[in-house]
Amino acid sequence: MKKYQQEYHTPYQLKFPIEIEKIIETTDPVYTFCEVIDHIDLNKYLTTEERRTGRPRYDEKTLLKVILFAFMENG
């Protein structure tokens, strides 16, 4: 007879404020960066392969935006 261990834990996630647009100024470079990237056709650089196993994938365009913006800011 196998004994199963139960883990009692409470996972939590930090939450952003609902109105984050009010915190980020309109002159912040992130708005300009997002506007420029949105006008570039990224489909030829990103894979469209569907996978049915594992956890849901991150949005590829959003992840690329975050990486490129971080590289732009920190070099």
Quick: pLDDT tens for 13-41.
566 656 666 677 778 888 889 899 999 99
Alpha-carbon distance values, 48 to 4, 9, 27 (Å): 40, 36, 34
In a domain, 3, yes or no: no
Q: pLDDT per residue over 39-65, tens digit each?
A: 999 888 887 777 777 777 778 888 899
Residue 2 lies in a domain: no
Q: What is the pTM of this model?
A: 0.59
Inside any domain, residue 1: no
Residue 39 belongs to what domain range? Answer: 20-48+57-74
Query: What is the tally of structural domains in the chain?
Result: 1
Which three-class secondary structure state does DSSP give residue 43?
coil
What are 36's two structure tokens? 């420029």
